[in-house]
């Protein structure tokens, strides 16, 4: 009996000693306010570190995507602060949040649309990549990639957007064009530009297709929730990622582009639809791509957008992609809950984020939205938990859509509660800089989440920054690799 008691006592002691290390989460992490502030604009124009001579590419040194499964190119990521602007950092940030709110409204409206069929492609392995930069200095919440358009290639900035399908850019002659940092692309000077006939299957895939009755060529129109739109010729063209040329990409050549577009020449649609860049060319890079979004205020951290097998990070934690029967554009994931300060937030359960059978609700990953929006009951519970954990910090007045702000002026470092997003199969622990961000130059920081009255929640790019976000469409999964911008 005595031996049994000793054995039981040993077992209980071992259990209690081991218990604290099981599934434990850190409660606080350090934020250094002085090292994070709004970037100021630079009066100089950005010059890419290296852009190949397009004429020399025609001599046979370019890649046309054969059978080399290891082919990949990595370009540096640069911040776009060098693109000049006359706005102050505070004005830029306010403008960014205004555009962000309009984008969220647009996405919510789009999610209520009629269904579209998904495209399928036979896989072939290839790889290539391009640089990515933050658009904060242009008042834009989006990130930009730099690529060549046409033959010879003319290098321009394009918004990187996983929430859109159509690839488009401004084209001369312009009926009306907004200001962009590069010269406007002139299709008349490209040897590989070609219009698409009205009778083409590509033209019929457009949601809003038109026809130039005189030339019998296809016209496109894309409208956004903020009132912005682009209209022009639907055509095919060659895109160049450094020395890698992708021929025959269907894109919009916009001659009338109006609204809140800023800085970039156009948009590289990376959505799941048939006309997005992955939808058209995914078979050339084995249906895989990834990006890492630099800190919105950083100026020299390297990063890239990568297409092909090299896009998949070995350190990524993956969660399955879900299919919305109503809309194929967005990347839906399953969010099971949220932890703040090492503890699951009560009431924030998977049922709040459920994508139902008719396509309502759910959670999407979007590179074009800045601030993560959570369905309002989930946001309120999360916000309140954060306020409790940050009760020692000095509160500050609300700012724009942010209702939880702090005065961190004259603070060398502060302890803030940790935040973890629990996806199915992947717990994503956010750095403090991904949820407590500067909103002015005077030490005011705000909790960078917001509630939404829409049933759709959106994981925005502020929360994605610093992670390599991997889209493995063959495996129907998306992954997150921390510290992925190096």
Q: Indicate which residues carry an active-site annotation.
A: 161, 366
Distance CA 27, CA 420 (A): 10
User: Position of tokens 């457009």?
Assistant: 206
Each residue of 287-313: b (16+ CB within 10 Å) or e? bbbbbbbbbbbbeebebbbbbbbbbbb
Given CA atoms 152, 155, 160, 165 in this order, what sign does their dihedral have? negative
Please choose, from the candidates 20, 22, 31, the residue with its C-alpha nearest in 3D space to the C-alpha of residue 386: 31
Dihedral-angle region of residue 178 (phi above 0 means left; psi in -120 to 50 means alpha; beta otherwise): beta
Distance CA 254, CA 234 (A): 8
Distance CA 282, CA 276 (A): 9
Residue 229 contacts residue 253 (beta carbons within 8 Å) = no
Distance CA 131, CA 125 (A): 21
Please choose, from the candidates 420, 397, 454, 433, the residue with its C-alpha nearest in 3D space to the C-alpha of residue 339: 420
Residue 303 contacts residue 292 (beta carbons within 8 Å) = yes
| 3-state SS, one letter per residue, for 356-425 | CCCCCECEEECCCCCCEEEEHHHHHHHHHHHHHHCCCCCEECCECCECCEEECCCCCCEEEECEEEEECC
Please choose, from the candidates 123, 33, 128, the residue with its C-alpha nearest in 3D space to the C-alpha of residue 71: 128
């Amino acid at each position: 009996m005595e031996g049994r008691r000793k054995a039981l006592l040993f077992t209980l002691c071992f259990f209690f000693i081991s218990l604290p290390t099981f599934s434990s989460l850190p409660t606080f992490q350090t934020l250094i306010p002085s090292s994070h502030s709004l970037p100021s604009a630079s009066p100089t124009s950005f010059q890419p570190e290296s852009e190949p001579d397009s004429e020399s590419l025609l001599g046979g040194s370019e890649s046309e995507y054969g059978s080399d499964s290891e082919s990949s190119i990595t370009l540096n990521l640069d911040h776009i602060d060098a693109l000049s602007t006359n706005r102050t950092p505070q004005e830029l940030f306010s403008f960014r949040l205004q555009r962000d709110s309009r984008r969220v409204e647009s996405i919510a409206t789009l999610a209520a649309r009629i269904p579209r069929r998904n495209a399928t492609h036979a896989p072939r392995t290839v790889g290539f990549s391009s640089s990515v930069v933050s658009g904060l200095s242009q008042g834009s919440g989006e990130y930009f990639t730099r690529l060549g358009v046409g033959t010879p290639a003319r290098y321009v900035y394009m918004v990187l957007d996983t929430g859109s399908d159509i690839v488009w850019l401004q084209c001369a002659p312009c009926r009306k064009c907004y200001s962009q940092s590069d010269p406007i692309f002139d299709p008349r000077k490209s040897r590989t530009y070609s219009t698409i006939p009205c009778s083409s299957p590509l033209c019929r895939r457009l949601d809003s297709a038109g026809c130039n009755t005189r030339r019998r060529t296809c016209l496109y129109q894309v409208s956004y929730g903020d009132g912005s739109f682009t209209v022009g010729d639907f055509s095919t063209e060659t895109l160049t990622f450094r020395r890698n040329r992708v021929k025959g990409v269907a894109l919009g050549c916009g001659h009338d582009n109006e609204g809140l577009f800023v800085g970039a020449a156009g948009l590289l649609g990376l959505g799941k639809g048939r006309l997005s860049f992955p939808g058209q060319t995914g078979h050339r890079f084995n249906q895989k791509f990834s990006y890492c979004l630099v800190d919105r205020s950083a100026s020299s951290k390297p990063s890239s957008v990568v297409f092909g097998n090299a896009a998949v990070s070995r350190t990524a934690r993956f969660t399955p992609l879900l299919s919305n029967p109503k809309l194929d554009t967005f990347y839906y994931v399953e969010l099971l809950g949220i932890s703040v300060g090492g503890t699951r937030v009560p009431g924030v359960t998977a049922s709040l984020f459920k994508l139902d059978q008719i396509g309502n609700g759910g959670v999407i990953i979007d590179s074009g939205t800045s601030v993560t929006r959570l369905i309002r009951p989930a946001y309120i519970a999360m916000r309140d938990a954060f306020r409790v954990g940050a009760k020692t910090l000095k509160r500050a007045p609300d700012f724009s859509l942010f209702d939880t702000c702090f005065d961190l002026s004259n603070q060398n470092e502060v302890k803030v509660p940790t935040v973890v997003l629990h996806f199915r199969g992947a717990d994503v622990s956010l750095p403090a800089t991904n949820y407590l961000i500067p909103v002015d130059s005077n030490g005011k920081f705000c909790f960078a989440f917001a509630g939404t009255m829409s049933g759709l929640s959106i994981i925005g790019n502020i929360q994605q920054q610093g992670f390599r976000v991997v889209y493995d469409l063959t495996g129907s999964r998306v992954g997150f690799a921390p510290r992925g911008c190096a």
